[in-house]
Structure 1
């Protein structure tokens, strides 16, 4: 990348940003932005931000798709995302991002969630009927989870990604949280992203968790928090359920009623066998009980592969793993919780891009009708399509 008149290695810049403080200042005052050199045929700008005297870089608003697929700043294009549903809830400026979350993070007595504004948008691909998709003024937990995953580029896979574990995921998520506010609170303070476990850091991590819980005030005026991690265990207790998160010793607690409702809402992600083949990533809305226990009030869940690529079914997870093994670069479109129709995956290592569809439901007329409509849409729009009927062997996934 280029700062002012000097080319800099991205890895060195991220590891030792203080070394480039003067260069950051020059680039910001003389040029107004940094330049990513991932493309030779296009100037791709990056925002230079400064917080507490430290400089860092961020994507130009709505410019993440301009980067090359292997670039660390690449983001999936708007056409493969449900994010447009939430444009009124997301305010992006050069200073950062503000999110309006439907879940109240501070309660004063009895409160209600923000309402949504129903505004018609474009028709669904593959359908001649007007879309019932609405633009919403506030994000639900699932939409926010998808936003975090997408903005952290965790729905993108490239052969150069290498091994992606929870440590790598958390580093990206923390970087995104640094420039985000949710319901007027700094996300870095409102969100606990479970740190990867290391025995030498256990005492410090436990102390940090205790401080996070202490920041949540019980009583009539309550301050809530968000927790992002992956389920390790769900066990019954005398009063409900104990939820164990991977990498974290301290459990959280939920009522059986809440978990029954969430299991109906997320049957794939919360299936008992999901942990055997992938990860059950959850975003939890929590309160601290009068006795100090972390109590889950609501949650959103998402199934991922072992490399943390999101999947809407076990068959999609199988396809994602096969694409990874074949050395393909691809994007998993994030649906958020809005309407619209998106492909299961998009191969971005060839031009034009190829859409991937996994047909895994059989015997349902509504599904078959949706399948035919999507196939017709791809034909009419000239999209390249790679299909897999799960009753057949996987197709050739090579370029």
Structure 2
């Protein structure tokens, strides 16, 4: 648990009375310091849901101790480095974050659907100045802390927890002058006893954007867990686990492009037992109350909700999890699939964290060279597994002196 120095007071992150101290600190213009290091690391205060929270300063994640809640590996080890400061800009003065979106939250009637969003197609379709749908999901996932794992999290992640922290992650995030929360729909966990009130809240949010006109109309942004992708009389539908009575329709063209673009994710979801498939997508709602996806992206995660890209990726995640080791998962954001990045960062090694890289069997010599250069230039220790020729090497040794 993090400990903060606020003025002359030293308080744990979840201590009673912290909120009162933060209110006074905000009024006095004081900034907390995280005491994970001897000199401390400056933080800032952001207001989320009527309460103040302590957040790390933009770009300061690598300054924190590896075991600290605010630690973040160097951004160049994931896709975050490409979009930070361009598609994602943080203001430490007011705690607000501005996002530049590469997808639209409105639609003009009759306009053709956009290309499938993901940033991982055969060619690079973004320069990093705007977030694709996949990058948006990765950003929310990382902001919610679901790319991190410590043994104490075992058995504590479920959909209510996922939803709670995704919504908190979206708070204070703006795009085109509007809060992301205004457009974000994350379904509530199903409850038979509260079914009527949950349905009422869902319909109230969805019908607020419903329009039968041909002019420009608003779209909502959904994040949910896929239960089933099924054929209908005239197309297909995606059924989310939490709202099985509210299918999201997809036309034949979108369905075909989804199967092609997300062949890997769908294959992993089908093959890996206990995995979850997440969808993020923009959707419209007609006057009849029927929801239809306009654009979407998919992400597959482990039973512990850690994203993974291949069976080799999951083997490393499973090995670390089975060994009760803490780690952070590198997320791709806008980077195309051939671009190398660290699979995970082990945060319990000494004298610094260790970046674990996987060289897939189909990786060419040029990309292998890029991995070697990335590992050599990184400030972290490196571990490399050539999965095409070698068995997985022993995991980097943990720091047995770490408390």
With the shorter chain as reference, the TM-score category is: 0.7 to 0.9
Which residue of the partner structure matches residue 242 of structure 1?
237
Q: Secondary structure at the match of 2:202?
A: helix
Contact 1:65–1:75, Cα closer than 8 Å, also in 2 = yes
Deviations 1:145-175 (A, max 9, x none): 1111122221122233333333332222111
Which residues of 2 match residues 69-80 of structure 1 at below 5 A? 69-80=66-77
| Other-structure match for 1:224 | 219
Q: CA deviation at 1:8?
A: 3.0
Decide which moves more: 297-306 or 133-142.
Answer: 133-142
Structure 2 equivalent of residue 60 of structure 1: 57
- Verify the 8 A CA contact 1:279 1:303 in the aligned structure 2: yes
Tell me whether 1:167 sits opposite 2:160 in the alignment. yes
Find the counterpart in structure 2 of residue 45 from structure 1.
Answer: 42
Secondary structure in 2 aligned to 1:138? coil
Deviation at 1:374, TM superposition (A): 2.0
Is the alpha carbon distance of 1:322 and 1:223 closer, same or farther for their aligned partners in structure 2, counting shifts above 3 Å?
same
1:156 aligns with 2:148: yes
Aligned length: 373
Q: Give CA deviations for 1:107-138 in whole Å, capped at 9, x if unaligned.
A: 35677999xxxxxxxxxxxxxxxxx8974332
Consecutive unaligned residues in structure 1, runs of 5 or more: 14-18, 115-131
Distance 2:377 2:21 in 1: 50
By percentage of residues, which structure has more helix?
A: 1
1:195 is aligned, of 172, 188, 211, to 188
Q: Find the partner of 2:8 among 5, 10, 16.
A: 5
Conserved? CA contact 2:210–2:289, under 8 Å: no
The match for 1:385 is: 383
Gaps of 5+ in 2: 115-123, 399-403
1:50-199 matches, within 5 Å, as 50=47, 54-86=51-83, 87-94=85-92, 95=94, 96-108=96-108, 135-163=127-155, 164-199=157-192
| TM-score using structure 2 length | 0.82
Matches of 1:320 and 1:51, distance apart in 2: 32
Q: C-alpha displacement at 1:72, in angstroms?
A: 3.1
**Is 1:343 equivalent to 2:342 in the alignment?**
yes
Q: Which stretches of structure 1, 4 residues or more, deviate above 6 A after TM superposition?
A: 110-114
| Contact 1:352/1:384, CA 8 A, preserved across alignment | no
Task: Point out the more displaced range, 332-341 or 250-259.
Answer: 332-341
Cα distance change on mapping 1:74 and 1:391 into 2, 3 Å: same
